[in-house]
Amino acid sequence: MKIKADKIASSTRNCRLSNDLLVSDELIAKEGYIIAVKALGEKNTYNTIELVSGRMSRICRGDIIAGVLGSRKALKGYSGIVPEKIKKGDILQLLNLGGVIGTCTSDNPELGPPINVEVLGAVLTFPLLHDRIGLPAHIMDAPIKPIQNLAAQGISPTPLVIISGTCMNAGKTRAACEIIKQLTHHGLKVHAAKLTGISLMRDTLEMADFGAEKVLNFTDGGSVSTTPTNAVQIAKSIVADLSKSKPYCIVLELGDGIMGEYGVMNLLSDKELMAWVAVHILAANDQVGAWGAQTYLKGVCPPIDIITGPATDNEIGKRFVKEKLGIAGANAIKEGIELGALVMQKLNSSIKGEKIIG
């Protein structure tokens, strides 16, 4: 069956779909497969979808959308799974702004119920020229293939600036962008990536807007959402790829929180990857979160060098992290220059024989 899609979600981008789709009734109920659905409602909140261009587009009742089957485990968003079986006519839900689709198992009172969608069929792709029989489209054939270790790639280590957080919406992306801006304003070549979370281009596009020369995220490694099983391999593949053109450093946002279910702790516990880390920044919502993160991460990964986020919104929070935790604090919103200077100072001291700023 031929259908014309009104919206192609950004989560499908590895397949480079057009709006003219061929769909099949034979659906594969597995994460990563692309399906066509029809929106059955509209909302006043959480009512947009990110297109492959990166633009956010409002979802209207009746819209035909191409999205990706996937699961989500978000504290401040929807959580959901891929059902064991899917057939044409089934009702599923949009789980995130990137067009990830599944069965919602838990909603959020601030967002209200997710938008219901009706399954129209599996989107087909024709990978070989002149193919007459389509195959179910999926995003797993990614431009970057997962690797087991960095050493085998023969790439000189690139200093990593990692930004972890106590939970979602703690200020990680804002901190990443401010750091990128400050470093690039000093003439440094910076690459960036988001290593964990659920498929969405918004944060990496913002990093590019702030000056990152090349940006990637885990969907470039073929993943709808990261897990403790796949996070490390995908992260290493991204770091290896970004290191090839020899940037001065790579700024890496670890989406979700350190206690979330997207594999953040697996990354922080990987000795090979953490050996490349020059600066570790924590975005914390409050003093308890900052203290808890320091305690929780002690001995597991590189020590926290800088704390940012709402915990540093004023002098009370900054004084707490400095006096009680012994860590420098810099607010990314109000003190971007100071935050950048702290990062550059740490980078300078970690790179033997080289100085960033004279």
For the segment 28-50, what is each residue's pLDDT rounded down to a tens digit? 999 999 999 999 999 999 999 99
pLDDT at 356 over 70: no
SS (H, E, C) the chain: CEEECCEEEHHHHHHCCCCEEEEECCCCCCCCEEEEEEECCCCCCCCEEEECCCCEEECCCCCEEEEEECCEECCCCCEEECCCCCCCCCEEEECCCCCEEEEEEECECCCECCCEEEEEEEEEECCCCCCCCCEECECCCCCCCCCCCCHHHCCCCCCEEEEEECCCCCCHHHHHHHHHHHHHHCCCCEEEEEEECECCCHHHHHHHHCCCCEEEEHHHHCCCECCCCCHHHHHHHHHHHHHCCCCCEEEEEECCCCCCCCCHHHHHCCHHHHCCEEEEEEECCCHHHHHHHHHHHCCCCCCCCEEECHHHCCHHHHHHHHHCCCCEECCCCCCHHHHHHHHHHHHHHHCCCCCCCC
Residue with tokens 């960036």: 192
Q: How far apart are CA 217 and CA 234, in angstroms?
A: 9
Q: What is the mean pLDDT of residues 178-192?
A: 97
Domain spans, the chain:
2-136, 151-350
In words, the CATH class of domain 151-350 is alpha beta
What is the pLDDT of the chain when averaged over all its residues? 93
pLDDT at 11 over 90: yes
Q: How far apart are CA 74 and CA 59, in angstroms?
A: 21
pLDDT tier for residue 357 given thresholds of 50, 70 and 90: very low
Name the least confident of 38-47, 114-123, 135-144, 286-295. Answer: 135-144
Bridge partners of 121, per DSSP, are 36
Taking Cα atoms as reference points, which of 278, 284, 298 lies closest to residue 350? 278
- The pTM (predicted TM-score) of the whole model is 0.93
pLDDT tier for residue 130 given thresholds of 50, 70 and 90: low
Q: Residue 245: how many CB atoms within 10 A of its CB?
A: 11
Q: What is the mean pLDDT of residues 232-237?
A: 96
For the segment 197-219, what is each residue's pLDDT rounded down to a tens digit? 999 999 999 999 999 999 999 99
